[in-house]
A and B are shown apart, each in its own frame.
Chain A
Amino acid sequence: MPCATARAVAIPRDRLAPLELVDSPMTRSSSPRTAARLAPRWQRFYRDPSVIFALIVIACLLIAVVAAPWLAPKDPNASFAEGLSDAGAPVAPSAAFALGTDLLGRDLLSRVIWGAQVSLFIGLVANGAAVLIGVLVGLLAGFYGGWLGALLMRFTDLMTAFPVLLLAIALTAILKPSLWIVALVIALLNWVGLARVVNSQVLALKTREYVTAAHSLGASSGRVLLRHVLPGLVPTMIVWGTLGISTSVMLEATLSFLGVGVQPPTASWGGIINESQTYFTLAPWLVVFPGLAILLTALAFNLLGEGLREALDPSSRSSRVGL
């Protein structure tokens, strides 16, 4: 993205033939107002300490997911005799168990490392599906309008009358809770805000000259949609997609904490806290470390999303994230 836009800087805008303007999707995101300023904006993005922090955390998370079998010192689901004190209580962080053990004598560090897989799975798959639904609903409703648009957007409005967290709790409790059900429920609930934003953006994009030009040059509506409107939505999709990871990770953790998320013995950060919450005054590490993992992950994707928003789409307002 940055290098493509750097080229756009080199070409003075008045030399661009109108047809080139129509055909290159890049010309939209680098409209004349922004073209000259884009490079410094990305420079600021890469130098922003909060973005650097976010990228480091996300890199660690990815390493934890990919290399879990080698990184985790022990089997996450194995109970160790030396993992429980003589009285049967969990063991505090020590040389043998870096982050301590849980109520069953399992190694907390290994469970936290393996738990990253659940969070990242939800963040990528469930949130990815939610972004797809949101873009599809907003795009179709905005582009085709008519009864289809009215129907889709009224349904979107209706969905805002449900509190997301409560509905997620209700749905996962009623269906049989499992990783896939949690992913499905998050995908089905988390698209609403994006659909509204995409819809209003498509309504605005539709009236732009280059879209009208493409229409009058004989482009089919499907081609206009894919080649001229969809590229304009990419910044929004990237920003919402990133912020959405944070929301979905927190949602999954909350559901698992309430016992309607990922089921034991699978290690998930919310689930670890759920299992040990009655014991937390005696073994605070069982809340602190998984809690820290959730906090850092959610924080990293929030900061990265905000940084991307400032770099890609500075005129947009930030949207409510979190629960």
Chain B
Amino acid sequence: MRFLLGRVVQGALVLLAVSFLTFGLGVLLPADPARMVAGPSASVATVNSIRRELGLDKPFFEQYTLYLTKLLRGDLGRSYKQSASIAELLISRLPATLLLMLGGVLCELMLGLPAGVIAALRPGSLWDRATMGLAFLGISLPQFVLGLGLLYVFAFIYPILPLGGYGTAAHLILPALTLGIGGAGWYARVVRSEMLEVLGQDYVRTAAAKGVSRGGLIVRHALKNALLPMIAMVGSDIGVFMGGAVVVESVFGWPGIGKLTWDAIRVVDIPVILGVVQLSAVMIVLGNLLADLAYPLADPRVRYD
């Protein structure tokens, strides 16, 4: 319990530091936020009144505390270009991105785990080398290339899946694959090395000597322990996926936070970009915290006293 409390406090401190960095970044920018809000044709008087309204004429730390108190109330400021609060924009886009991330994690697990297990069963075999080669390909393939390639093959040449968009389960398949394949390659490699390590342990040999079947040995004794590092990996995926979501959502026209970011990039809507960075830091901290919580559930030897 103490440990978890420590982690929560640590997470809160990280978020505080992130908010300071993000805010500092916004202030250091060459562009004048008041001018960006007012638009290029606004008069100097309008720009000045907007500057007062936004509190931009106040000293740095006063501005930061103001920003922080607003942040704690969930107020991330307003977009330069869209007349909506950033918090509203993010919340309306969050479900689509979470769905995409869920699909990405499923794809990582469903492709990466079996590949890693199969490769570990006969190290050095053709199967092993083929799966590990594929894993390296998956890791080295940039998402936008993979996404466009998948679209070309499965939506254009053989039109079995939609050419992007959002709605049904069929829409999710290609974006989730694109998001998850790099991680799947990485998972396959980790599972393989974990399995090889566990399969060499004494207790596995003991179980084999007792007459446990090969299948039972692999599933009940080896796999159970080899999968433990996956918990932390899934927890940290959220952070990895936040960047990937920008690419995948822009390729597939997926209406989530990544698409919001991409649209914001093209019109240099800085508050939205910074808001996404802020949100993703929250999600990373939450993801790691969830992994910490899940550990003792999966492995009774882990206990936080």
Q: Which residues of A contact B (CB under 8 A)?
A: 50, 157-158, 161-171, 173-174, 246, 250, 253-254, 257-260, 270, 273, 277, 280-281, 284, 287-288, 291, 294-295, 298-299, 302-303, 306, 317-318, 320-323
Contact A294 B276 (CB under 8 A): no
Q: Give Cα distance in the complex from A50 to B140, angstroms.
A: 14
- B242 close to A (CB within 8 Å): yes
Query: Which listed residue, B17, B148, B265, touches A259 by the CB 8 Å rule?
Result: B265
Contact B14 A166 (CB under 8 A): no
Q: B242: which A residues are within 8 A, CB to CB?
A: 163, 165-166
Grouping DSSP codes into helix (H, G, I), strand (E, B) and loop, the A interface class, with mixed when no group exceeds half, is helix
Q: Give Cα distance in the complex from A20 to B251, angstroms.
A: 60
Q: B185: which A residues are within 8 A, CB to CB?
A: 322
Q: A298: which B residues are within 8 A, CB to CB?
A: 140-142
Grouping DSSP codes into helix (H, G, I), strand (E, B) and loop, the B interface class, with mixed when no group exceeds half, is helix
Query: Which listed residue, B151, B273, B280, touches A163 by the CB 8 Å rule?
Result: B280
Q: A258: which B residues are within 8 A, CB to CB?
A: 246-247, 250, 262, 265
Nearest neighbor of A155 in chain B, beta-carbon distance: B17
- B131 close to A (CB within 8 Å): no
Q: B156: which A residues are within 8 A, CB to CB?
A: 281
Q: A246: which B residues are within 8 A, CB to CB?
A: 140
In the complex, per-residue mask of B18-48: 1 if CB is within 8 Å of any chain A CB, else 0: 1001000100010000000000000000000
Which of B186, B241, B265, B285: most chain A Cβ within 10 A? B265
Nearest neighbor of A292 in chain B, beta-carbon distance: B145
Contact B140 A166 (CB under 8 A): no
Nearest neighbor of A320 in chain B, beta-carbon distance: B186
Q: Give Cα distance in the complex from A73 to B142, angstroms.
A: 27
Q: B29: which A residues are within 8 A, CB to CB?
A: 174
Query: Which listed residue, B152, B243, B250, B270, touches A287 by the CB 8 Å rule?
Result: B152
- B144 close to A (CB within 8 Å): yes
In the complex, per-residue mask of B251-267: 1 if CB is within 8 Å of any chain A CB, else 0: 10000000001101110
Q: B264: which A residues are within 8 A, CB to CB?
A: 173
Nearest neighbor of B189 in chain A, beta-carbon distance: A318
- B139 close to A (CB within 8 Å): yes
Q: Given contacts A169-B246, A258-B247, A259-B265, could you give 19 more A-B pairs where the C-beta distance is less than 8 Å? A: A162-B281, A163-B239, A163-B284, A165-B246, A166-B243, A170-B261, A170-B274, A170-B276, A173-B265, A174-B25, A174-B268, A246-B140, A253-B144, A258-B250, A295-B141, A302-B140, A318-B189, A320-B186, A322-B186
Query: Which listed residue, B139, B141, B149, B276, touches A166 by the CB 8 Å rule?
Result: B276
Q: B14: which A residues are within 8 A, CB to CB?
A: 157-158, 161
Contact B18 A161 (CB under 8 A): yes
Query: Which listed residue, B133, B142, B239, touches A295 by the CB 8 Å rule?
Result: B142
A253 CB → nearest B CB, Å = 5
Q: B182: which A residues are within 8 A, CB to CB?
A: 322-323
Which of B140, B144, B243, B268: most chain A Cβ within 10 A? B140
Contact A295 B18 (CB under 8 A): no
Contact A294 B142 (CB under 8 A): yes
Q: Give Cα distance in the complex from A60 to B30, angstroms.
A: 41
Q: Give Cα distance in the complex from A258 to B193, angstroms.
A: 35
Q: B276: which A residues are within 8 A, CB to CB?
A: 166, 170
- B137 close to A (CB within 8 Å): yes
Q: Give Cα distance in the complex from A270 to B151, angstroms.
A: 17
Number of interface residues of B (CB under 8 A): 52
Q: A168: which B residues are within 8 A, CB to CB?
A: 243
Top 8 nearest A-B pairs by Cβ distance?
A165-B243, A291-B145, A298-B140, A299-B140, A166-B243, A173-B265, A322-B139, A163-B239
Contact A254 B142 (CB under 8 A): yes
Name 12 interchain pairs, CB-CB below 8 A, sorted by A. A169-B243, A169-B273, A171-B25, A173-B268, A253-B142, A253-B144, A257-B247, A259-B266, A281-B152, A281-B156, A294-B142, A294-B145
Q: A166: which B residues are within 8 A, CB to CB?
A: 242-243, 246, 261, 276-277, 280
Q: Give Cα distance in the complex from A251 to B262, angstroms.
A: 16
In the complex where A161-B281, A174-B25, A291-B148 touch, is A323 in contact with B140 (Cβ < 8 A)? no
Contact A321 B142 (CB under 8 A): no
Contact A287 B186 (CB under 8 A): no
A69 CB → nearest B CB, Å = 27
Q: Give Cα distance in the complex from A160 to B107, angstroms.
A: 24
Q: B64: which A residues are within 8 A, CB to CB?
A: none
Q: A299: which B residues are within 8 A, CB to CB?
A: 136-137, 140
Nearest neighbor of A260 in chain B, beta-carbon distance: B265
- B143 close to A (CB within 8 Å): yes
Q: B4: which A residues are within 8 A, CB to CB?
A: none
Nearest neighbor of B241 in chain A, beta-carbon distance: A163
Contact A158 B18 (CB under 8 A): yes
Which of B145, B149, B193, B266: most chain A Cβ within 10 A? B145
Q: A291: which B residues are within 8 A, CB to CB?
A: 142, 145, 148-149
Query: Which listed residue, A161, A253, A273, A318, touches B148 by the CB 8 Å rule?
Result: A273
Contact B140 A170 (CB under 8 A): no
Contact A163 B144 (CB under 8 A): no
Contact B139 A321 (CB under 8 A): yes
Q: Give Cα distance in the complex from A35 to B158, angstroms.
A: 56
Q: Give Cα distance in the complex from A294 to B270, angstroms.
A: 30
- B180 close to A (CB within 8 Å): no
Q: B143: which A residues are within 8 A, CB to CB?
A: 254, 323
